[in-house]
Amino acid sequence: MSSQQEGTSPQGDVPSVRTIDSIFRESDRLYYEVARGCGLSNAAFWSLVSIVIRGGATQGQIAEDTAYSRQTVNSAVKSLESRGLVAIGFEEGSRRNKTVSLTVEGKAFCARNVRPAMDAEERAFASLSLRDRREFAHLVRIYVDAIDVELGRVMESRSKQKEGGGR
Measured over all CA atoms, what is the biggest interatomic distance in the chain, rounded to whole angstroms? 60
DSSP 71-91: HHHHHHHHHHHHTTSEEEEE-
Q: What is the pLDDT of residue 93?
A: 80
Q: What is the pLDDT of residue 60?
A: 93
Cα dist from 101 to 10, 15, 88, whole Å: 51, 43, 7
Q: What is the pLDDT of residue 160?
A: 84
From edge to edge, which strands make up the β-sheet containing 57-58? 57-58, 98-102, 86-90
Q: What is the pLDDT of residue 101?
A: 97
Residues 91-114 have a mean pLDDT of 91
Rounded Cα–Cα distance for residues 121 and 9 (Å): 30
pLDDT band at 4 (very low <50, low <70, confident <90, very high): very low
CATH number of 38-127: 1.10.10.10
23-68 pLDDT, tens digit each: 999 999 999 999 999 999 999 999 999 999 999 999 999 999 999 9
103-162 pLDDT, tens digit each: 999 999 999 999 999 999 999 999 999 999 999 999 999 999 999 999 999 999 988 888
Helix and strand counts by DSSP (H, E) for the chain: 8, 3
Contacts of 69 (CB under 8 A, 6+ apart): 63
Long-range contacts of 64-71 (CB under 8 A, 24+ apart): 68/43
Domain ranges of the chain: 38-127, 129-167
